[in-house]
Structure 1
Amino acid sequence: MSDLPALSRRRFLGATSAIGLTGVFGAGTTGTALAADGSGVVPVNWPGLGSYPGADAAGKRVTAILAGSSRYLIGPWYAATYTRYLPDGYIDLKGTDERAVRLPAMAAVAATTALVTDTYDPRTLSAANATIRTRNLIRTLAARHRANNTDTATRWGNGWQTALWAYYTALAGWLFWDRLAADERDHLAAMLVWEADRLTTGNDVHLIGTGGEQLYMTRRDGTVVTPGDSKAEEDNWSAAALSLAAVMMPNHPNAARWTRRNVELLLAAAARPADLTSDRTINGIRLSTWLRGTNIADDGTLHNHARLHPLYMVAFDQSLYQGFVFGLANRAAPKAALHNITHTYAALVDKPFPLPGGGTSPIYRENSAEIYYPEGNDWGTHFPFYFGNFDLLVTLTGQDTGIDPAAAKWERLHNNAQLSLMSRFTDGRTYGATSENTYYGREHRIGAMAGQAYLTLFLSRNSTGNRLRWA
């Protein structure tokens, strides 16, 4: 895995990528990549973005992870999961729950990123066939969303996590815009608009509407609303959908509402007690006035699953991904996405926690890829890329200032450990025994992280200069 050669990165797939598409799906699949279409989506201007050779050490590691993961997901996993087309021409998702929707959406992020950046490894499946499979995932997921589907037995949407599923699907579709037919593009836009609009109905306490899910684990008065269950992750994955909608459809009538709500959710996700009395204003929002609670401690730690949980501390990767989302449109991401990241990263690297047998240790073990979970880990035993991905994002966004060792050192340790896990298999997968990572979407999570990490590298270490900007 680690010996995978770095390839020259083009802006988008060449003409050979469309081989077979007309015969399978009909004509009209390769429209312009530079002009907004009827849905109002402005595609990525790939020719204007420069290139990224991936020749730096971190780039070689992430390239190898993405190439292997995408090869597994769009190869063996897809082949075993999707064995038939339904009468309406879509693949059978086999349900409407997280397993049926989130997993293929994450796989699509990995595959599209690998294909459009020439990091795809075709040793077991050609790029042309991988393109067909990837397009199947995108077009089916979008068509089955309730914005486009009246069949209650097959539609998804309007759920606790569905904004995240829509984000993954829409991101994959945006990257693959040149490969999609007009109706497929419209389905993607309608899906993302529907989920983004739902999120703008909330306020400074509630995620949606004026009841139900709240933005904070702990209220301003100290009342713990959801003991041991930070709302940070839900807030920042909801923000992701809003950010992508605003970037993809900047001229939409609701774009300003999506932009504002994105900032609100980013700030709520990372809110600390100290923020409740802070006069600081970020992206037009004064913290002490708007925030109604907190999700992380002043030291940057947070609790989820009734424990201090390092895996949910690095879930702020979703906030940092906004750098590449806005960067693909040559725009600055909101500074709110960086809020309190340094505190959380310092808690991973420098904060000592008691050891069972005496003494202390930080979460990041000295000169080791091993992770210390002060209150245990209920998800399994092997998560190096969850941390290596976050290390890389912290490095590229400069959020490790004053922290020693710096994030680049930890990225090397953790991502080399990830490559070691992958080297055990020939098909690109990461995990063996279920006990290593008990999440049923473990391979898909690796792929989605790898795709978004690579896109962040693409924007940060671009031939035209660093395109990650914050304002």
Structure 2
Amino acid sequence: MPALPPLSRRRFLGTAGALGTAAAFGAPTAAGAAQNHVVPIDWGSLGSYPGTDAAGERVTAILAGSSRYLIGPWYAGMYTRYLPDGYIDLRGTDERAIRLPAMAAVAATTALTTGTYDPRTLSAANATIRTRNLIRTLAARHRANNADTATRWGNGWQTALWAYYTALAGWLFWEKLDTTERDHLAAMLAWEADRLTTGNGVHLIGTGGDQLYMTRRDGTVVTPGDSKAEEDNWSAAALSLAAVMMPNHPNAARWTRRNVELLLAAAACPQDLTSNETINGIRLSTWLQGTNIADDGTLQNHARLHPLYMVAFDQSLYQGFVFALANRPAPRAALHNINRTYAALVDKPFPLPGGGTTPIYRENSAEIHYPEGNDWGTHFPFYFGNFDLLVTLTSQDTGIDPPAAQWERLHNEAQLTLMSRFPDGRTYGPTTENTYYGREHRIAAMASQAYLTLFLTRNTTGNRLHWA
């Protein structure tokens, strides 16, 4: 693990240096809070987290390396000029252009604000400027703030997730932003959250929008081989963050309700359709109109039983830290069927090609068994280690053996082994290891949110993760 600077829990580390200066952006003010409904994080009430426990040391090293790589050499190679309006050139409006820098911003803000940033190749001062550049530009280019159809983004299949990443980074970095930047962030997130509240029990958005379920209540498979679990819970993420950041916004109650609905839809299984259980005011048997996972906890994506999308329920569990940053309990709906899905990873046997069986998690190994293959590549230890940690911290491995903490160690040690191959903090070498073009950014975004969950769980004031 690289040597890290001592924890400077609540102080940002300077603003002079690379690609512009802090003076060029203006001094931040507090005036925006009243206009945009955002309640800043009260860091002083949240204690500190030294990160000296074994899991904390692993996640700290992953966050430090991945954020150093992205805000260092990756940023330098991608963003080489300001446009005439003072923003950096994002070089497009698609997923590559928006989601990737948003994930990088989340990692960098987390590292900088918690004192886990590694300045060995780029000072914290210069990293702060670069990070602010990403946040301010992404928010300004959203359609809520930008009428130029050539440069704006938003209102797309995945844009709620991009808004979530950007807004989370901005909230963590709030004291470094000026009034205009703050207002842009709030407008962006509220716009995407409002769009998602127009849905109903079958559609994500209105009666003709994206589906909430792969399989309807009557057994009709609407999207064969393509669970809607991931889309539901990334949309829920934007709604949860909007409701937490802007609790006094006129639409906060609508965002809160829709968040719960999407969390429950994401993890709905056939047994839920006849369940009399009520979660956060919603009776499963009467509200749910379909399912996304099987009763055994597995799900399908890309026309196969897909473990990588089973651990995509990490997005639901991240709601714990989001609400805890505001000293609020997260909705219990975020935990629905997590134990069921985790049991399918650890304990459910699947046939091996040469005979015999194995669970998805191979005994005493970091290797993953993909029962129907993996179309994304060969190396994904942190995708699973991240989920293992979240399951541990939320106690969702009850009755499962071995427990999640043992798997976290195996998977995250394998992740650190991958990172040890490179001096710049990145994880991957050949494209075949992970074919996603945002593979380094995905690692960084997971590491930042895992670290924040650790921070809120194991801080000096006690466990702040609560569910109600």
Q: Bin the TM-score by the shorter chain.
A: over 0.9
The structural deviation recorded for 1:8 is 4.3
Alignment of 1:153-164 (within 5 A): 153-164=150-161
Aligned to 2:205: 208
Does the CA contact (< 8 Å) of 2:4 and 2:117 recur in 1?
no
TM-score, normalised with respect to structure 2:
0.98
Aligned to 2:188: 191
Q: Tell me which amino acid in the other structure corresponds to 2:11.
A: L
Please give the secondary structure, in 2, of the residue aligned with 1:36: helix
Aligned to 1:458: 455
Aligned to 1:260: 257
> Are 1:421 and 2:442 an aligned pair?
no
Aligned to 2:27: 28
Alignment of 1:171-190 (within 5 A): 171-190=168-187
Q: Tell me which amino acid in the other structure corresponds to 1:423.
A: S
Q: Tell me which amino acid in the other structure corresponds to 1:189.
A: A
- Which of 9, 13, 18 is the matching residue for 2:11? 13
The structural deviation recorded for 1:22 is 6.1
Determine the C-alpha separation between the residues in 1 that align with 2:3 and 2:463.
24
Aligned to 1:298: 295
> Are 1:148 and 2:141 an aligned pair?
no
> Are 1:435 and 2:432 an aligned pair?
yes
Please give the secondary structure, in 2, of the residue aligned with 1:18: coil
> Are 1:325 and 2:283 an aligned pair?
no
Does the CA contact (< 8 Å) of 1:385 and 1:414 recur in 2?
yes
Does the CA contact (< 8 Å) of 1:167 and 1:244 recur in 2?
yes
Aligned to 1:411: 408
Determine the C-alpha separation between the residues in 1 that align with 2:385 and 2:215.
29
- Which of 257, 270, 287 is the matching residue for 1:273? 270
Q: Tell me which amino acid in the other structure corresponds to 1:175.
A: L
Determine the C-alpha separation between the residues in 2 that align with 1:110 and 1:8.
18
CA RMSD of aligned residues (A): 1.2
The structural deviation recorded for 1:212 is 2.8
Determine the C-alpha separation between the residues in 1 that align with 2:5 and 2:346.
33
Determine the C-alpha separation between the residues in 1 that align with 2:21 and 2:192.
31
Does the CA contact (< 8 Å) of 1:11 and 1:49 recur in 2?
no
Deviations 1:397-444 (A, max 9, x none): 000011000000000000000000000000000000000000000000
Q: Tell me which amino acid in the other structure corresponds to 2:280.
A: N
% identity of equivalent residues: 83
> Are 1:386 and 2:383 an aligned pair?
yes
Q: Tell me which amino acid in the other structure corresponds to 1:9.
A: L
The structural deviation recorded for 1:25 is 2.2
Q: Tell me which amino acid in the other structure corresponds to 1:178.
A: E
Aligned to 1:347: 344
The structural deviation recorded for 1:28 is 2.0
Aligned to 2:283: 286
Does the CA contact (< 8 Å) of 1:11 and 1:47 recur in 2?
no
Unaligned runs of 5+ in 2: none
Determine the C-alpha separation between the residues in 2 that align with 1:251 and 1:44.
15
Does the CA contact (< 8 Å) of 1:6 and 1:60 recur in 2?
no
Aligned to 2:464: 467
- Which of 356, 373, 377 is the matching residue for 1:359? 356
Please give the secondary structure, in 1, of the residue aligned with 2:35: coil
Determine the C-alpha separation between the residues in 2 that align with 1:19 and 1:6.
21
- Which of 442, 445, 452 is the matching residue for 1:445? 442
Aligned to 1:334: 331
Unaligned runs of 5+ in 1: none
The structural deviation recorded for 1:38 is 2.1
Aligned to 1:369: 366
Determine the C-alpha separation between the residues in 1 that align with 2:242 and 2:104.
20
- How many residue pairs match? The answer is 466
- Which of 54, 66, 88 is the matching residue for 1:57? 54
- Which of 218, 221, 224 is the matching residue for 2:218? 221
Please give the secondary structure, in 1, of the residue aligned with 2:14: helix
Does the CA contact (< 8 Å) of 1:18 and 1:179 recur in 2?
no
